[in-house]
Amino acid sequence: AVLVPRNRWDIERIVTPVEALPEEEGPLRPMRLLVVDDDPNILRAMEAWALGLGHAVTTAGDAAQGLARCEDHDAALIDFDLGEGMDGLELAVRLRARQPHLPIALITADRSRAVQRRARMLAIPILAKPVAPDELERWLARQESTYRV
């Protein structure tokens, strides 16, 4: 239901001041994210989204760059189809060899059972393209909660 104020006294009763609203739950601290996608437009959009939430972002345009830029990240968002060379799941296996507890989400438009099966065997969730920002935020919040002290 939408409340429509009839006069200025109704406005004061209906509209809650922003400072009185409870803070939304979200990550308690900035995270260090690795984002790997072969589409530069998606990389720029993901980087802008993550930076807007206060996260530090390392981007990579292919699997080789992802491996080279993998440091001590809190989470990784990896596209499945990375063009030539290894795919996102192969990259995930190599990243986990370096950082065994790295939370990884696979982002893909590929709905095939083979991809789903491989991801399930690796315990990597799939976020279907196009991914809504709030879905990414929920996934990050779940990962971030594992780092809380």
pLDDT digits over 59-95, tens only? 999 999 999 999 889 999 999 999 888 999 999 999 9
Sequence-distant (6+) residues with CB within 8 A of 53 are 26, 27, 137, 140
* Alpha helices (runs of H) in the chain, residue ranges in sequence order: 8-14, 40-52, 63-69, 88-98, 113-121, 133-144
Average predicted confidence (pLDDT) for the chain: 82
Q: Tell me the C-alpha distance between 10 and 40, whole Å.
A: 49
123: three-class secondary structure by DSSP: coil
Residue in the structure block whose two tokens are 């807007």:
52
> Minimum mean pLDDT among 5-14, 97-106, 137-146: which range?
5-14
Task: Write out the two tokens for 110.
Answer: 């590929």
pTM of the model: 0.78
